């Protein structure tokens, strides 16, 4: 079973505006509501690919109820912890000549609610997969990912971590099964700007030496590089297509990789499926659908 944790889920309100002007009244050409949060994106794409999973995290208020119901209507199993105060955040995504985002702060998460999450994670069993993705709300300790992986150590649970900076580096001693920095994030960890495959591979190997078992580096239009735990390097470009939306593409890559690994146990195939899933989301208005992923998988 796959479990995803999203500490700060959101309702993403996406509006399209022609000739957006600050300080003036703008009218939308179209708008839509999507369920947001990196872990939730992973859950949604896993569900689209036929992988059973459950979304965990924290919700609050009427916005939280809307998000939970929306996920359930989409066939995604949820097991959220409900907070007594605050509201699940709403993020406004303005798509005009340039994209502008206004992201909410989200509710405070008290210590008692965090203990509820720990109790749920304590029920995970050998062979389960746990995905930790995204930033940490200010109300939680900065080492929360580290605390979770330490708690699960030696229980044969596969962990995937999509985080940045010190948050990512702190979990490496617990040997996460998968980490997925993008090229800029990988470079920042070593104080460098990475351009060549050789530089990217070198830094990926350094992260692997620190504990990351499989290091998947996304590079937007330049494709991706996987350094698997056998030491093999896999390099892929991206399928041909028109980018419509970059939100969730990295999360979709994580979901596709895990779906491919869980079904076949093959790193090269998992990398291909992850690449196809990431591209399918980038080429869509929403998250990748299975038929889109499979169609792209046949093109490279």
- What three-state secondary structure class fits 111? helix
- What three-state secondary structure class fits 164? coil
- List the alpha helices (DSSP H) in 75-173: 111-121, 144-152, 165-169
Phi-psi region of 154 (alpha: psi -120 to 50; beta: other; left: phi over 0): left
Catalytic annotation, pick one of 12, 251, 266, 291: 251
Is 251 marked active-site?
yes
Which residues, listed in sequence order, are joined to residue 162 by a DSSP beta bridge? Answer: 133
Residue 154 contacts by C-beta under 8 Å, 6 or more apart in sequence?
none
- Asked if 51 contacts 129 with a C-beta cutoff of 8 angstroms, the reply is no
C-alpha triplet 237, 99, 271: angle, nearest 5°: 20
CA proximity to 153, closest of 173, 178, 180: 173
d(CA 290, CA 10): 24
User: Is residue 181 classed exposed, middle or buried when 0-12, 13-18 and 19+ CB atoms within 10 A define those classes?
Assistant: buried
CA distances from 231 to 22, 64, 267 (A): 51, 43, 11
Q: Which two tokens stand for residue 152?
A: 């699960």
Q: Could you identify the residue written with the tokens 């993403």?
A: 12
Catalytic residues, by residue number, are: 251
């Amino acid at each position: 079973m796959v479990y995803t944790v999203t500490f700060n889920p959101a309702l993403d309100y996406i509006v399209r505006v022609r000739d957006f002007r600050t300080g003036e009244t703008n009218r939308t050409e179209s708008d839509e509501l999507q369920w947001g949060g990196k872990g939730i994106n992973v859950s949604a794409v896993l569900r689209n690919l036929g992988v059973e999973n459950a979304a965990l995290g924290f919700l609050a208020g009427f916005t939280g109820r809307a998000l939970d119901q929306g996920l359930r209507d989409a066939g995604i199993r949820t097991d959220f912890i409900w907070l007594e105060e605050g509201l699940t955040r709403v993020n406004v995504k303005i798509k005009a000549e340039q994209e502008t985002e206004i992201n909410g702060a989200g509710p405070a998460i008290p210590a008692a609610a965090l203990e509820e999450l720990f109790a749920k994670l304590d029920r995970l069993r050998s062979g389960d997969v746990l995905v930790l993705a995204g930033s940490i709300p200010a109300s939680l300790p900065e080492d929360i990912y580290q605390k979770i992986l330490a708690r699960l150590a030696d229980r044969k649970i596969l962990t995937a971590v999509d985080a940045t900076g010190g948050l990512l580096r702190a979990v490496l001693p617990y040997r996460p099964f998968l980490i997925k920095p993008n090229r800029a994030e990988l470079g920042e960890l070593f104080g460098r700007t990475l351009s060549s495959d050789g530089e990217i591979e070198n830094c990926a190997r350094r992260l692997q030496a620190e504990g990351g078992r499989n290091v998947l580096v996304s590079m937007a239009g330049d494709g991706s590089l996987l350094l698997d735990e056998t030491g093999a390097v896999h390099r892929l470009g991206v399928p041909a297509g028109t980018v419509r939306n970059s939100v969730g593409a990295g999360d979709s890559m994580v979901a596709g990789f895990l779906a491919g690994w869980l079904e076949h146990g093959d790193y090269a195939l998992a990398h291909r499926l992850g690449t196809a899933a990431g591209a399918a989301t980038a080429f869509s208005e929403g998250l990748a659908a299975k038929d889109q992923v499979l169609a792209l998988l046949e093109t490279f």
